[in-house]
């Protein structure tokens, strides 16, 4: 704390509002830092005042950020979803906020149809439509089961999951194994080659990784993330360094695993050839950290951003498990081949958990290699990371960005700051084809629909008012 | 969406949702655009209710808007070029909007973000009142003092801010704090004075300015003037910032004497502050306006006497030149609320009830026409008259219009005005006011009346506008000009035909 002595001129002044007054201070040779103030999102002024006045807010946010930063995510096991999540036949997890089949988008339906065939509920994925229409199948968000899933994020009982644990608390999070790019289930493809690959992953890759993790001991995923950021990965659309580091850590144990060398070679070829393999570890590591901030009354920190292909939803530390949603947006960026913008589905996937934790778009400055992939420039990338600091509560002292003088990743999205500035979280994302079965059509940048944040703010304000008036 | 209200020219109205610039900036933009040839009138303003009223009164037909929209309204001559006028709007706006520069150098968007990136010890908030609380909380969260220039901040928010500041040993100056001087740095509207032994705590911006200027004229410097906002000594707020400010002055060894200046305070608050002050080691003088209380000039004189300085003869220009009116009412047009209060207290004692938009008691409330068949005094700096527009110390338009109106009113005997100089105020107020006074007097003369105009000119020789230059210009227009508002008021009462 530094307070002004009345007869000593301040060392500097921060000025928000009329330039006239800032000019007058500057004219007296005292440095002025000017705030580029603009009115908040429409209709939020009263709720902002209420939430900013909440006596719990500041300390609650400090606690939420600290809890999140204190988490160490260790990969402790690899096991089938039926085992670690208790997922039963006919139960499916999906990305984003809650969703019914009737409202599901093309890629979400495609992934569910493929998963139904994978589980043997139908022989032909096309036949699964009736099954889901009947309402006999259970659909539940990954987030409701401590899990996250990229793109469609569909998890069915036989899929193998990474199991991450925070040693201090024993809390766990889960994510499926990454299938690679192109025609894959998570982008809504369900052809026989897609299903065959998934069967191989369950039969060969999963058990091999499980054995390797058992033998090598827990893998420090948070630590790998720290290093990745120094190596040009932002851990959402670029996971190349992370993937190779994982392979480095597991290779000896893989080689010594009790499996035919051809299977081991195939597994190592698959992991090493899939630059996105580590995404499915980055995501649950981020969720593990953010879950530590859940349920802190008064905190305005966002603990999840997730999309189901139809809606975008956020959850906030101080508002329990409530989702605040709006229509999922279309990403802007580069399209593969001759796909057209109208071929792309609205935003989908739990992978925005990386941005929620300060990676992905928030750490774009550290990944200049992929700015073109998402249709940007290097100065854009630097500006984006700086801009995200305007809407976050702090910086991550472990996850630093060399090109920004080792500034920490912007950490802890603050609902009030988003509403005040109108700056929306920047998300790096893949684009799925709008039609079921197509797969990936591109990659780009997207933001949440603005309305999520005023809705969350209104709920925070409501809680603060109730607390104030008993 | 356009409906030509006048017989000539073109009217153009457009709404720009989400565009924003502050009222001072937009005032300049409007002026720049109005200066373009072929443009008869231009108003670029945020669509606040008050601005909409102004636009409507200018004859513009307006579509539905929200206060977050910017309205561009242009009235062109017959041969006016709309495209050129709109280009001028863009040019003026882009000149006024700081260049974003390269994307990576974007300025911070909240006070909190700027403070996190700065070792500044003070935040200065002058955003519209509805949003000021949020920016001020940022400063307290970051452990910094804050000055809130904004008015129209709800009192409940002021109380939350000040309680939180008190818990943390921080100082909230404001809301509606027009004036502060911290270590010689003038903030908001402030006069340039030499450093010296006096520290002021002011729940009144112009009261503080009057005191500083009188002391300066008497050769006594002010090293700090901590504004606390006009409501600090009210029952609701309870003097929270005044205590903290006094504590700071008491701890500062260079302050020999402290003065608390305020508009009429709540009695119990004044009493408890006197008790608090008695426990400090620095002597504290109170200049609290009220019925039967000494005026600000008398307070300045008692400070001088406590410091062992001789009482000066307060400066005036052209005094004694006007002749007394033959009946009618005293009409006061003020930019300073405390100066208005002081004048009302003195006038009420000498001439009887004074109606006002900031009345001494509720039954004297002036309605929004600002006209009454009685003595009247209007504070153009009051919240209700500044919502969405610049303070009258920056934008004199509203008061100048009213000067012409009261001058034309045969029931006006004498006009009393204040002019407040210093940093933050318009660069040359006499430039517009002197011709307006001349015109007002000529107008009255044409209808066979004499119209005395008395001005209190609050300023110092070191102010950018320079006290004597402004005073001489106003006296040259036929006004009687005084440095002391109390003396100006006494003279106006005398000219109206009062007992003193």
Across the interface, whether the CB atoms of A13 and B24 are under 8 A apart is answered: no
Q: Is the dihedral of CA B486, B487, B488, B492 positive or negative?
A: positive
Of A21, A33, A52, nearest to B120 by CB-CB distance is A33
Of B134, B223, B390, nearest to A48 by CB-CB distance is B134
Across the interface, whether the CB atoms of A28 and B104 are under 8 A apart is answered: no
Q: Which residues of B touch A16 (CB under 8 A)?
A: 110-111, 114, 123-127, 135
Across the interface, whether the CB atoms of B121 and A10 are under 8 A apart is answered: yes
Q: Which residue has the tokens 């975008």?
A: A312
Closest to A220 in 3D by CA, of A400, A71, A435:
A71
User: What's residue A1's pLDDT?
Assistant: 42
Of B118, B149, B199, nearest to A33 by CB-CB distance is B118
Which residues have C-beta within 8 Å of that of residue B35, sequence separation ≥ 6? none
Q: Which residues of B touch A7 (CB under 8 A)?
A: 183, 195, 199, 223-224, 252, 254-255
Is the pLDDT score of B424 beyond 70?
A: yes
Shortest Cα distance from B11 to chain A (angstroms)?
28
Q: Tens digit of pLDDT for each residue in A393-451?
A: 999 999 999 999 899 999 999 999 999 999 999 999 989 999 988 888 888 899 999 99
Between CA A17 and CA B136 the distance in angstroms is: 12
Shortest Cα distance from B95 to chain A (angstroms)?
13
Q: Tens digit of pLDDT for each residue in B86-119?
A: 988 888 887 654 443 344 478 999 999 999 989 8
Across the interface, whether the CB atoms of A36 and B98 are under 8 A apart is answered: yes
User: What's residue B96's pLDDT?
Assistant: 53
Interface test with B, best of A26, A29, A35 (most B CBs within 10 A): A35
Between CA B385 and CA B334 the distance in angstroms is: 12
Omega before residue B360 within 30° of 0, cis: no
Question: How many degrees, rounded to 5, is the angle at CA A167 between CA A162 and CA A170?
Answer: 75
Is the pLDDT score of B64 beyond 90?
A: no
Nearest residue of A to residue B198, measured between CA atoms: A7
Between CA B320 and CA B339 the distance in angstroms is: 21
Across the interface, whether the CB atoms of B124 and A17 are under 8 A apart is answered: yes
User: What's residue B2's pLDDT?
Assistant: 39
Across the interface, whether the CB atoms of B118 and A14 are under 8 A apart is answered: yes
Of B150, B185, B255, nearest to A9 by CB-CB distance is B185
Shortest Cα distance from B180 to chain A (angstroms)?
10
Q: Which residues of B touch A33 (CB under 8 A)?
A: 108, 114, 117-118, 120
Closest to B466 in 3D by CA, of B441, B430, B496:
B430
Across the interface, whether the CB atoms of B134 and A14 are under 8 A apart is answered: no
Nearest residue of B to residue A395, measured between CA atoms: B116
The pLDDT of A106-129, averaged and rounded, is 97
User: What's residue B191's pLDDT?
Assistant: 93
CA B485 to chain centre: 15
Of A22, A25, A40, nearest to B185 by CB-CB distance is A25
Q: Tens digit of pLDDT for each residue in B311-327?
A: 889 999 999 888 887 77
Chains A–B, number of C-beta pairs less than 8 Å apart: 220
Q: What tokens appear for A70 in the block?
A: 């204190």
Is the pLDDT score of A36 beyond 60?
A: yes
Q: Which residues of A touch B102 (CB under 8 A)?
A: 379, 383
What percent of chain B lies above the pLDDT cut of 90?
68
Across the interface, whether the CB atoms of A2 and B102 are under 8 A apart is answered: no
ipTM of this predicted complex?
A: 0.93
Between CA B495 and CA B500 the distance in angstroms is: 9
User: What's residue B1's pLDDT?
Assistant: 39
Are B257 and B197 spatial neighbours (Cβ–Cβ below 8 Å)?
Answer: yes
Q: Is B276 left (phi over 0), alpha (psi -120 to 50) or beta?
A: alpha
Which residues have C-beta within 8 Å of that of residue B63, sequence separation ≥ 6? B1, B13, B15
Of A27, A39, A379, nearest to B68 by CB-CB distance is A39
Are A304 and A290 spatial neighbours (Cβ–Cβ below 8 Å)?
Answer: yes
Across the interface, whether the CB atoms of A17 and B423 are under 8 A apart is answered: no
What percent of chain A lies above the pLDDT cut of 70?
99
**What confidence category does residue A101 fall into, taking pLDDT thresholds of 50, 70 and 90?**
very high
Q: What is the DSSP string of B152-213?
A: ---HHHHHHHHHHHHHHT--EE-SS--EEEETTEEEESB------SEEEEEE-HHHHHHHHH
Q: Which residues of B touch A35 (CB under 8 A)?
A: 107-111, 113-114, 135
Between CA B223 and CA B421 the distance in angstroms is: 19
pTM listed for this prediction: 0.85
Q: Tens digit of pLDDT for each residue in B380-414?
A: 998 888 877 788 998 999 999 999 999 999 999 99
Across the interface, whether the CB atoms of B123 and A22 are under 8 A apart is answered: no
Of A9, A52, A423, nearest to B109 by CB-CB distance is A423
Of B24, B103, B186, nearest to A28 by CB-CB distance is B186
Nearest residue of B to residue A15, measured between CA atoms: B124
Q: Is B119 left (phi over 0), alpha (psi -120 to 50) or beta?
A: alpha
Choice between B172 and B322, residue whose per-residue pLDDT is larger:
B172
Shortest Cα distance from B348 to chain A (angstroms)?
36
Q: Which residues of B touch A21 (CB under 8 A)?
A: 124, 126, 149, 187-188, 424
Shortest Cα distance from A307 to chain B (angstroms)?
27
Of A380, A383, A417, nearest to B110 by CB-CB distance is A417
Is the pLDDT score of A3 beyond 60?
A: no
Across the interface, whether the CB atoms of B149 and A35 are under 8 A apart is answered: no
For A138, list phi and psi in degrees, rounded to 5: -100, 125
Across the interface, whether the CB atoms of B255 and A6 are under 8 A apart is answered: yes
Nearest residue of B to residue A422, measured between CA atoms: B109
């Amino acid at each position: 704390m530094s307070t002004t002595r009345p007869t000593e001129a301040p060392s500097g002044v921060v000025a928000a509002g009329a330039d006239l007054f800032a000019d007058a201070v500057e004219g007296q040779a005292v440095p002025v830092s000017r705030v580029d103030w603009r009115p908040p999102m429409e209709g939020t002024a009263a709720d902002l005042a209420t939430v900013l006045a909440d006596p719990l807010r500041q300390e609650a946010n400090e606690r939420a950020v600290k809890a999140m930063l204190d988490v160490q995510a260790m990969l402790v096991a690899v096991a089938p979803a039926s085992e670690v999540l208790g997922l039963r036949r006919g139960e499916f997890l999906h990305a984003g906020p809650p969703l019914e089949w009737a409202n599901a988008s093309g890629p979400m339906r495609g992934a569910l149809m493929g998963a139904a065939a994978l589980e043997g509920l139908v022989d032909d994925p096309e036949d699964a439509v009736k099954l889901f229409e009947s309402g006999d199948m259970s659909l539940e968000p990954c987030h409701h089961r401590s899990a996250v899933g990229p793109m469609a994020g569909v998890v069915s009982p036989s899929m193998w999951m990474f199991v991450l644990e925070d040693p201090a608390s024993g809390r766990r999070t889960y994510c499926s194994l990454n299938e690679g790019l192109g025609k894959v289930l998570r982008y809504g493809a369900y052809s026989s080659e897609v299903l065959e690959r998934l069967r191989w992953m369950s039969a060969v890759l999963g058990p091999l990784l499980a054995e390797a993790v058992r033998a090598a001991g827990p893998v420090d995923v948070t630590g790998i993330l720290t290093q990745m950021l120094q190596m040009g990965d932002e851990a959402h659309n670029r996971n190349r360094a992370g993937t190779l580091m994982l392979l480095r850590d597991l290779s000896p144990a893989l080689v010594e695993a009790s499996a035919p060398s051809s299977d081991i070679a195939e597994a190592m070829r698959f992991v090493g050839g899939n630059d996105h393999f580590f995404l499915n570890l980055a995501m649950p590591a981020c969720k593990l950290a953010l879950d530590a901030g859940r349920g802190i009354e008064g905190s305005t920190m966002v603990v999840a951003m997730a999309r189901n292909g139809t809606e975008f939803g956020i959850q906030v530390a101080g508002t329990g498990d409530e989702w605040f949603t709006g229509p999922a947006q279309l990403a802007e960026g580069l399209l593969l081949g001759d796909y057209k913008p109208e071929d792309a589905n609205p935003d989908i996937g739990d992978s925005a958990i990386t941005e929620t934790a300060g990676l992905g778009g928030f750490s774009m400055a550290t990944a200049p290699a992929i700015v073109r992939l998402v249709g940007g420039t290097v100065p854009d990338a630097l500006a984006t990371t700086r801009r995200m600091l305007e809407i976050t509560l702090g910086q991550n002292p472990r996850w630093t960005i060399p090109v920004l003088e080792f500034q920490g990743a912007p950490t802890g999205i603050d609902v009030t700051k988003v509403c005040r500035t109108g700056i929306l979280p920047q998300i790096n994302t893949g684009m799925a084809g709008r039609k079921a079965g197509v797969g990936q059509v591109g990659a780009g940048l997207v933001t949440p629909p603005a309305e999520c944040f005023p809705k969350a703010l209104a709920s925070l304000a409501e809680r603060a008012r109730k607390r104030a008036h008993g | 969406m356009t409906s030509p209200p006048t017989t000539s020219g073109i009217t153009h109205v457009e709404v720009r949702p989400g565009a924003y610039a502050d009222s001072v900036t937009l005032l300049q933009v409007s002026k720049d655009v109005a200066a373009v040839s072929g443009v008869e009138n231009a108003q670029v303003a945020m669509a606040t209710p008050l601005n909409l009223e102004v636009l409507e009164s200018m004859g513009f037909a307006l579509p539905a808007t929200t206060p977050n929209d910017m309205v561009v309204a242009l009235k062109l001559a017959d041969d006016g070029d709309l495209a050129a006028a709109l280009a001028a709007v863009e040019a003026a706006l882009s000149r006024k909007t700081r260049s974003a520069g390269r994307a990576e150098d974007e300025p911070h968007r909240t006070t909190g973000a700027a403070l996190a990136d700065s070792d500044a010890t003070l935040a200065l908030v002058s955003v519209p009142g509805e949003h000021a609380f949020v920016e001020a909380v940022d400063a307290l969260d970051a452990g910094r003092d804050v000055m809130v220039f904004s008015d129209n901040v709800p009192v409940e928010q002021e109380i939350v801010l000040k309680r939180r500041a008190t818990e943390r040993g921080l100082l909230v100056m404001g809301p509606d704090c027009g004036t502060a001087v911290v270590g010689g740095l003038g903030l908001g509207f402030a006069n340039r004075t030499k450093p010296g032994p006096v520290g002021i705590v002011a729940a009144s911006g112009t009261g503080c300015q009057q005191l500083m200027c009188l002391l300066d004229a008497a050769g006594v410097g002010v090293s700090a003037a901590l504004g606390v906002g006009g409501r600090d000594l009210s029952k609701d707020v309870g003097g929270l910032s005044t205590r903290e400010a006094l504590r700071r002055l008491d701890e500062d060894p260079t302050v020999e004497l402290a003065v608390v200046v305020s508009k009429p305070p709540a009695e119990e608050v004044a009493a408890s502050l006197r008790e608090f002050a008695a426990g400090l080691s620095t002597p504290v003088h109170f200049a609290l306006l009220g019925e039967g209380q000494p005026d600000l000039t008398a307070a300045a004189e008692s400070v001088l006497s406590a410091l062992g300085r001789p009482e000066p003869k307060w400066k005036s220009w052209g005094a004694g030149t006007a002749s007394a009116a033959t009946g009618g009412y005293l009409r006061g047009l003020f930019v300073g609320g405390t100066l208005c209060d002081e004048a009302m207290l003195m006038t009420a004692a000498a001439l009887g009830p004074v109606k006002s938009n900031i009345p001494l008691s509720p039954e004297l409330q002036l309605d929004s026409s600002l006209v009454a068949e009685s003595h009247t005094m209007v504070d153009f700096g009051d919240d209700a008259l500044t919502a969405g527009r610049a303070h009258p110390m920056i934008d004199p338009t509203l008061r100048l219009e009213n000067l012409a109106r009261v001058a034309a009113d045969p029931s006006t005997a004498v006009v009393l005005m204040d002019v407040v100089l210093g940093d933050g105020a318009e660069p040359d107020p006499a430039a517009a006011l002197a011709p307006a006074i001349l015109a007002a007097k000529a107008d009255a003369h044409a209808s066979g009346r004499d119209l005395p105009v008395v001005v209190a000119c609050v300023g110092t020789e070191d102010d950018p506008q320079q006290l004597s230059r402004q005073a001489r210009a106003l006296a040259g227009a036929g006004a009687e000009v005084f440095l002391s508002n109390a003396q100006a008021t006494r003279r106006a009462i005398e000219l109206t035909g009062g007992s003193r």
